[in-house]
């Protein structure tokens, strides 16, 4: 009796799997052009994001270039313990967290405010021009942006210091004083990325039904009341999703920008986990140690996103998954 029931269950399972495969095949055929458009993205992610993940094994090995990953000796959690005992550990964590927290506090609201301002512009031509101007910095190379910052803030020929000198003040060595680096980093990030990030919120605003605004006008609501009770609440789900995504990178600073701007005199505030991995891995050739630090970053970021997503789902039913 038991064997017959088991056979029936196996047959049901096979039937369900066959049905799912058939549905999946029909779905692919029906949406073949969409999947074809997605194929280059999938190939890129597979080659550059998923396939290299086997290299994470180096974090648990004493990696030898000649022996390779499969032949290197296993050392367990040696390099993770070494990193936690590193004298620079707390400085690296502190700098990385502070740069990202400041970027969240001062930079995260700017695209939202920009999107709300663009949404209130009624002249279509003015709206297009201002949006285009706000997008432009994003398409400027990070190398160029950092070069502009170094030029404008130069102690001898920089525009900022020339103005200070004209006002009777002494020149400021912005890139030799650790106190200025975080401010420069955050401001550059806002200037370069705020306009482009606003596109997501503008798209969310375009999905709000015009009937809501018409009903609000009939009820006597002004533009401020419409903004407060219709526009902003409609943005909340998008804001939460973007905040969750940002939390995943809380231990990942803009490596390229920092590498181009920092120097040993400002390591106190500018040295972060990404630059430390670069120095240890590519300059000191300590690949296993650098991989362990990078994996530590990734795990902490994943935990933060998972916890934040869980809390968000419990609080207001908005989540990434």
pLDDT of 5: 58
| Concatenated DSSP letters of 280-313 | IIIIS--HHHHHHHHHHHHHHHHHHHHHHHHHHH
Q: Tens of pLDDT along 163-220? A: 999 998 899 999 999 999 999 999 999 999 999 999 999 988 888 888 888 888 888 8
| Confidence band for 225, pLDDT divided at 50, 70 and 90 | confident
pLDDT of 310: 81
Are 212 and 229 in contact by the 8 Å Cβ rule? The answer is no
Work out the angle between the directed axes of helices 181-206 and 109-120 (0-180°, nearest 10). 40
Q: What domains can be seen in the chain, in order of their start residue? A: 3-49 (no CATH), 86-285 (1.10.3720.10)
**Average pLDDT, whole number, for the chain?**
87
| Confidence band for 302, pLDDT divided at 50, 70 and 90 | confident
- Copy the structure tokens of residue 31: 């949406």
Q: Tens of pLDDT along 63-108? A: 988 888 888 899 999 999 999 999 999 999 999 999 999 999 999 9
Say how far residue 114 (Cα) sits from the centre of its chain: 19
Longest CA–CA span in the chain (Å) reads 98
In angstroms, the Cα distances linking 71 to 18, 51, 271 are 42, 19, 33
Judge whether residue 14 has pLDDT over 80: no
Residue 196, phi-psi category: left (phi > 0), alpha (psi -120 to 50), beta (remainder): alpha
pLDDT of 12: 59
Query: What are the residue ranges of helices labelled H in the chain?
Result: 2-30, 32-45, 68-71, 78-84, 89-102, 109-120, 124-135, 142-152, 159-166, 181-206, 210-218, 223-226, 232-247, 255-261, 267-270, 273-278, 287-316
Strand 61-62 relative to strand 73-74, pairing = antiparallel
Residues 6+ apart with CB under 8 A from 253: 95, 96, 99, 100, 185, 272, 273, 274
Q: Tens of pLDDT along 253-285? A: 888 899 999 888 999 999 999 999 999 888 888
**Closest to 226 measured CA to CA, from 211, 207, 242:** 211
Judge whether residue 3 has pLDDT over 70: no
pLDDT of 208: 85
Hey, which residues does 74 pair with through a beta bridge?
Answer: 61
Q: Tens of pLDDT along 103-125? A: 999 999 999 999 988 888 888 89
Judge whether residue 296 has pLDDT over 80: yes
Residue in the block written with tokens 């095949």: 25
Query: What share of the chain has pLDDT > 70, as a percent?
Result: 93
| Confidence band for 320, pLDDT divided at 50, 70 and 90 | low
> DSSP assignment, residue 263?
-
- Copy the structure tokens of residue 82: 């070494």
């Amino acid at each position: 009796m038991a064997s017959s029931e088991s056979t029936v269950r196996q047959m049901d399972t096979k039937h369900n799997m066959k049905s799912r495969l058939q549905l999946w095949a029909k779905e692919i055929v029906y949406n073949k052009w969409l999947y074809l458009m997605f194929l280059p993205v999938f190939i890129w992610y597979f080659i550059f994001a998923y396939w290299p993940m086997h290299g994470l094994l180096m974090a648990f090995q004493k990696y030898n270039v000649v022996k390779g990953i499969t032949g290197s000796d296993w050392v367990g959690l040696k390099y993770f313990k070494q990193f936690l005992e590193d004298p620079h550990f707390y400085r690296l964590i502190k700098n990385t967290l502070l740069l990202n927290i400041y970027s969240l506090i001062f930079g995260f609201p700017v695209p939202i405010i920009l999107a709300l301002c663009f949404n209130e512009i009624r002249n279509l031509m003015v709206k297009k021009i201002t949006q285009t101007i706000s997008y432009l910095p994003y398409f400027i190379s990070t190398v160029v942006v950092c070069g502009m910052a170094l030029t404008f803030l130069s102690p001898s020929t920089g525009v900022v210091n020339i103005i200070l000198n004209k006002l009777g003040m002494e020149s400021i060595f912005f890139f030799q004083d650790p106190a200025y680096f975080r401010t420069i980093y955050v401001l550059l990030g806002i200037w370069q990325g705020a306009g482009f990030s606003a596109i997501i919120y503008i798209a969310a605003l375009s999905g709000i039904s015009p009937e809501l605004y018409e009903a609000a006008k009939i009820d006597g609501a002004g533009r401020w009341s419409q903004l407060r009770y219709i526009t902003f609440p409609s943005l909340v789900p998008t804001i939460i999703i973007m905040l969750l995504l940002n939390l995943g990178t809380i231990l990942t600073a803009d490596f390229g920008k920092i590498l181009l701007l920092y120097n040993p005199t400002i390591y106190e505030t500018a040295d972060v986990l990404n630059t430390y991995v670069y120095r240890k891995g590519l300059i000191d050739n300590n690949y296993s140690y650098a991989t362990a630090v990078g994996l530590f970053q990734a795990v902490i970021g994943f935990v933060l996103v998972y916890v934040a997503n869980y809390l968000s789902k419990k609080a207001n039913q908005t989540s990434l998954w």
